[in-house]
Structure 1
Amino acid sequence: MSDHDDVCVLLPTMNEAETVARVVTGFRDAGFENVLVIDGGSTDETQSIAREAGARVVEQSGRGKGQAVREAVRDHVAAPYVLMADADATYDADDAAAMLDPLFDGEAEHVIGNRFADMRPGAMTRLNRIGNRLINLAFRTIHREGYRDILSGYRAFTRESFRRLHLTADGFGIETEMAVECVKNRVPVSVVPITYRERPGGSATNLHPIRDGGVIFLELYRKAKTNNPLFYFGSVGAASTAAGIAMAAFVLYRYLAFGISHEVVAVGAVGATILGIQLLVFGFLADMIHSLHQEQIARYERAVSDETSDRPSENASPDAPEDRGSGRDDEPARREAADEAGD
């Protein structure tokens, strides 16, 4: 029996033949016997190498890391705790205990490994480092939580909390979406410092910084619609209003300085300004509705919690008979007996 039978190590893979054996062996040596590799249809020897290293291997039905994670947790994980990592040997199995401690101690239901706490030389290019910082800043601005490293692939979470998240991203946006959904569903999150290493020579990354970075920014903005509607509508409204004012200033300047009128531009300026103001007003109204909705949810959760805590004291009775299951189930029998006695 392993010390971590209640933990499943989840490794999404795609052409990781150079590193997957090292990663699987590392986690098994750390005491994790339940290692699940969900593969996106690798064209190299990733699947066979992972099996030889002792992992359980499943080929996902779709494509993309996000789809792999959702399918794995939904269909192939039975353990109550999931430790998710990349199979590129950039994360240390030695950090697994620290990642799981907040879950075991009840401090959190989702744990994010902070790669910036101990990032080794060469682990991340300057472009990727700048992009990560900008994305984390955008996340903190839009969703008003500082998780330090929302793009980290080293995660630990309870299976129950994962099932509460509404996840739709198929690619590398899954980490961003998980962070946003944790904020939206008020899932307790802990951030744990981890070591992040350079990819071993010979292994190639599946990440495309510009393309995937753009997808992540769009995911952040899209999720703001239900989590921070003031930013979602207000940002577009402010941009439209500013454009309208700039066009109006141009028309006014050309008319006063040269006597030239720009009727079409003037109409566009009025339309952009009106649209921008409407979006700003709508953003404020949506934010008020969102705040009221959050208050109602919090009030409902408190009521349910109070009812649950009061229920044992209401039902418990020291003189109650041990057989509590014979009440409602015996009612038809008692009625029949009473009818027979009446006859």
Structure 2
Amino acid sequence: MEDIKKTAILIPCYNESKTIEKVIKDHQAVMPHAEIYVYDNNSSDGTDEIARNAGAIVRYEYRQGKGNVVRSMFRDIDADCYIMTDGDDTYPAEFALELEKQIYSERADMVIGDRLSSTYFTENKRPFHNIGNVLVRKLINVLFKAEVKDIMTGSRGFTKAFVKSFPVTSKGFEIETEMTIFALDNNFKIVEVPIDYRDRPEGSESKLNTYTDGYKVLRTIGTLFRDTKPYLFFSIISLMLLLIGGAFFVPILINYFETGTVAKYPTLIVITAMWIIAIISFFSGVILQVLKKQHRHNFERYLNMLNEIWRKEG
């Protein structure tokens, strides 16, 4: 008897009463075999009741923030394929089938619904969001030597191994960035599928704040860069400290050759302290890189253990 695969559609929601019914109905029509989960995040407009009446399984996450919702979804739901979408009707449901196909064909551990290669820049009416998406994409691709086209899309597909091994630490909208960096750092298979994007319908407002959430995303990138590439991160800090110290030291050295005396002793003391910190920073990076490599080995063993358990169960 052939195993029946279970697909779960995950929809995090916060005040999406104007669009959630359509999102659910569209996915039911395209993927009648899938279970649809709506996680309500303290909505005050009846989103949960509308979703329940539309046929979705409704659950609640009372800690505010999309990252908190995704954490609960990934912990609670057991499936073979996970399709995540937004409740604002910006991602057409028919593209979910292609995400599912990539997962079940074992071509990807995470499938990214790539908006930026299709209609995003013409449909999205928020220019700073467009600039932010491009900036984050270029920054991550440079830091991680990748070629990901859409870092912050909310349309994604995942395998069970990815979902159950992903340690969610973000609380808000920076969760998509964290997912992408986690996949890149741990060598998960990533496939991007171009999808259409349509702007929110009239009366539906975005919960994303361009400036505060943009700052959180950039902070997350910096933190994850430090944690995933400590040798490079601390080497850059060391180099900057050495160069700054050198810029102040050269005039003192020139003055010494000209006069035979050392001027600006306080500056010299500060320069010495900076160079000591630079050396400490460099060797901290070396030590942390060794620990990171050991963590990577342990993570691979953990994935192998999970796969072996699921193979025996299935």
TM-score normalised according to structure 1 size: 0.77
Amino acid in the other structure paired with 1:268: V
Task: Output the CA distance in 1 between the equivalents of 2:231 and 2:44.
Answer: 46
Alpha-carbon distance in 2 for matches of 1:86, 1:137: 24
Paired letter, 1:234: S
CA apart distance, 1:277: 3.7
Matched, 1:15 2:15: yes
Residue 238 (structure 1) aligns with: 239
- 1:91 is paired with a residue whose SS is coil
3-state SS in 2 of match to 1:169:
coil
Superposition deviation, residue 300 in structure 1: 7.2
| Aligned residues with identical type, % of pairs | 27
Partners of 1:100 and 1:16 in 2: CA distance: 24
Higher relative contact order (CA 8 A, sep 6+): 2
Residue aligned with 1:93, SS: coil
Aligned to 1:57: 58
CA contact (8 A) 1:73 1:159 kept: no
- Equivalenced residue count is 298
Structure-1 separation of matches of 2:16 and 2:6: 26
**Structure 1 pair 137–31 and aligned structure 2 pair: CA distance change class (3 A):** same
Structure-1 residue corresponding to 2:40: 39
Instruction: Quote the Cα distance in structure 1 between the aligned partners of 2:18 and 2:5.
Output: 27
Q: Structure 1: which 5+ residue stretches go unaligned? A: 309-343
Higher alpha-carbon deviation: 272-281 or 216-225 = 272-281
- The alpha-carbon distance between structure 1 residues 56 and 275, as it changes in their structure 2 partners (threshold 3 A), is same
- Which residue does the alignment assign to 1:229? 230
Structure 2 unmatched runs, 5+: 309-314
Q: Which position in structure 2 is the counterpart of 1:97?
A: 97
Please list the CA deviations of residues 226-285 of structure 1 after superposition, one character each: whole Å capped at 9, or x if unmatched.
42112221222222223222333465689979x994333332222223322432344356
What is the CA–CA distance in structure 1 between the aligned matches of 2:197 and 2:18, rounded to whole Å? 18
- Residue number in structure 2 paired with 1:185: 186
The one-character-per-residue Cα deviations of 1:284-321 (angstroms, maximum 9, x if unpaired) are: 56446655875x679979xx89xx9xxxxxxxxxxxxx
Larger Cα Rg: Structure 1 or Structure 2?
Answer: 1
Hey, what does 2:311 align to over in structure 1? Answer: none
Letter matched to residue 273 of structure 2: G
Name the structure 2 match of 1:324. none
User: Are the aligned partners of 2:123 and 2:197 in contact in 1 as well (CA < 8 Å)?
Assistant: no
Task: Decide whether the 8 Å contact of 2:15 with 2:47 is kept in 1.
Answer: yes
Deviation digits for residues 112-153 of structure 1 (CA, Å, limit 9, x no counterpart) = 111111124231532222211221122122223322212111
Distance 2:31 2:179 in 1: 27
> TM-score scaled to structure 2, two decimals?
0.84
Residue 65 of structure 1 and its aligned partner are, at CA, apart by 0.7
2:151 partner SS? coil
Counterpart residue identity of residue 228, structure 2: N
The answer to whether the 8 Å contact 1:143/1:227 transfers is no
For 2:26 and 2:5, locate their aligned partners in 1 and report how far apart those are by CA, in whole Å. Answer: 16
CA contact (8 A) 1:90 1:199 kept: yes
1:64 aligned partner, one-letter code = G
Contact kept? 2:124, 2:130, Cα under 8 Å: no
Give the direction of change, closer, same or farther, for the CA distance of 1:14–1:250 in structure 2 (3 Å limit).
Answer: farther
8 Å CA contact 1:5–1:34 kept in 2: the answer is no
Q: Is the 8 Å Cα contact of residues 248 and 270 (structure 1) preserved in structure 2?
A: no
Q: Distance in 2 between matches of 1:289 and 1:181?
A: 17
SS at match of 1:140: helix
Pair 1:55–1:214, CA change in 2 (3 A): same
